[in-house]
Amino acid sequence: MHIKIIFTVFSLILGFLTFLPYFVEMFKGKARPHIFSWIVWAITGGISFSASLSKGGGGGALISVLQSILCLIIVAYAFFRGEKSITLLDKVSFIAAILLCVFYFFTRAALPSAVVAVSIDLLGFVPTFRKSYLKPDEEPALTYSFSSLAYLFSLGGIGVYNLVTMIAPITLVLANAALVIFLTTRRKILK
């Protein structure tokens, strides 16, 4: 089996496993997703997939579309049972992300699109980081650990290595790892 296919398969398996702890915690009533973050992540998954695929992302791009679809399930849940405390910072981050999405649709060049997608993704983390500062137990760190690993494996499945195909996975490896460290640290501080 070709090594890129192996990396792609591991990426997709981890990408799916990423959401299992979150789904379990949601249905136990412990995880309370912030709808703004999950809407943004659902949108950016599609954008990242499109930009990466256009520049030879190959199987390494599939993780983005898988996670986009799974994010939509969490959006539906968050609409009814998610975090209800929405702050001005959350609203500003969400509006900025949506404005960048509009900008993306007018920017058809792959590199600016990839940079915009990554910027939108990072804005999506703002409400979750803010909420997790006060309620770190409402976000399963295992989900973000698996996500970081899934995107790390997706790098091995990329068809053509260039800035466009690599910027989103590298950024998401780092952003998810940062959230795991943040959650772990906040839990220790609050105990």
Residue-level length of the chain: 191
Task: Supply the pLDDT for residue 96.
Answer: 86
Q: What are the residue ranges of helices labelled H in 32-162?
A: 35-54, 62-81, 88-106, 110-134, 141-156
The letter for the amino acid at 109 is A
Residue spans of the domains in the chain: they are 3-190
Structure tokens at 47: 């954008």
Q: Mean pLDDT for each 10-residue chunk of the chain (191 residues)?
A: 85 90 92 90 84 83 91 94 88 86 76 83 92 93 93 91 92 97 96 86
Task: Supply the pLDDT for residue 100.
Answer: 78
Q: Are 33 and 82 contacting, i.e. CB atoms less than 8 angstroms apart?
A: yes
- What is the number of other CB atoms lying within 10 angstroms of the CB of residue 181? 12
